[in-house]
Amino acid sequence: MPRAFPSLVAAALATVVLAGSPRLHAQERAFTIPGTNPPAEVHERIAATDVQIAYHRPRVRGREIFGALVPWDRVWRTGADNATRISFSRDVTLGGVAVPAGEYELFTIPGREVWTVIIHEHRSQWGSYTYDPAYDVARVPATPEEAPSPVESFTLSVEDVGRDRATLVLAWDRTRVPVEIAVDVAALVPEVEAELARTERPPYFLAAMFYWENDLNVHRAAELMALALEQSPGHIGMLHRQALILADAGDLDGARAAARASLEGARSAAPELRDEYTRLNRALLERLGG
């Protein structure tokens, strides 16, 4: 029997068994016989960009994988059963190649020295049997690495998530293939400002941290943190972050004053908060010279 269709066989057998058992309860009829290649989903957020992946996970099971079960230099479904799906809620770059927001199918061409990662229009395909390069949206070269340890079940993951980038990783057997996903956080500024304008209680703190953590505009971050403290006077966490922002903006006197206010407020906080913000503010004041 062809190796590519075990899940179809399992589904057909389940249908026959259940059809011949009319007295089974509804809950029992909901049972699905486990397939050979279990489904998996990945959900990650990079800045305001959602990355979602749906795929099936074949196992090594003692077989030689790349160059044998998965041939070199031929299009691979990058998993098992249905073509692997990947979606981006906003425009991204994948390995430096622009990919518009949307839902796609993910194929690869494994190579001994270089892999090609293919973002393909979503066509609800089974495997790669009807793959057509005319529907490719992007092709990205990627360098394979030796996995730190053998990976029994094929795995797709989004790792090292940072403020504006992360790494899409394909791993199976002794091979690991990383590809960088990057987003343009500066493009979010108009939406951040629009949210501040239309919200009854503007999220000044989140907006201040957005500007500061992404190195976009430290002076705008300072303005917004001051407004956040008007909403929540004496908040020791906000005061500490105000001190950090003001220090980066060059206002050392303001930074020291905010750190001292946070330190003073920590005296009456719950023990864990008191200890944390006492330590943080004393270290900051030492760095700021008092």
* Residue span of the structural domain in which 148 resides: 6-11+34-182
**206 and 169 share a domain?**
no
pTM of the predicted protein model: 0.81
Ranges under pLDDT 70 in the chain = 1-29
**109 and 194 share a domain?**
no
* 25 within domain boundaries: no
Which pLDDT score, from 0 to 100, does residue 29 have?
A: 67
* Residue after which a domain boundary falls, among 147, 182, 217: 182
* 272 within domain boundaries: yes
pLDDT in tens, 181-233: 999 999 999 999 999 999 889 999 999 999 999 999 999 999 999 999 999 99
Beta carbons within 8 Å of 226's beta carbon, 6+ residues apart: 242
The CATH number for 273's domain is 1.25.40.10
**177 and 194 share a domain?**
no
Q: 273 with 236: CB under 8 angstroms? A: yes
* 232 within domain boundaries: yes
Number of domains in the chain: 2
Which pLDDT score, from 0 to 100, does residue 15 have?
A: 42
* 19 within domain boundaries: no
**135 and 191 share a domain?**
no
Which pLDDT score, from 0 to 100, does residue 57 have?
A: 97
Beta carbons within 8 Å of 228's beta carbon, 6+ residues apart: 204, 205, 208, 235, 238
* 84 within domain boundaries: yes
Q: What share of the chain is helix, strand, coil (3-state, %, to 5)?
A: 35, 30, 35
Which pLDDT score, from 0 to 100, does residue 35 have?
A: 83
Enumerate the H helices of the chain as residue ranges: 6-19, 26-29, 189-198, 204-213, 218-231, 236-248, 252-266, 271-288
The DSSP secondary-structure symbol of 188 reads: G
**142 and 190 share a domain?**
no
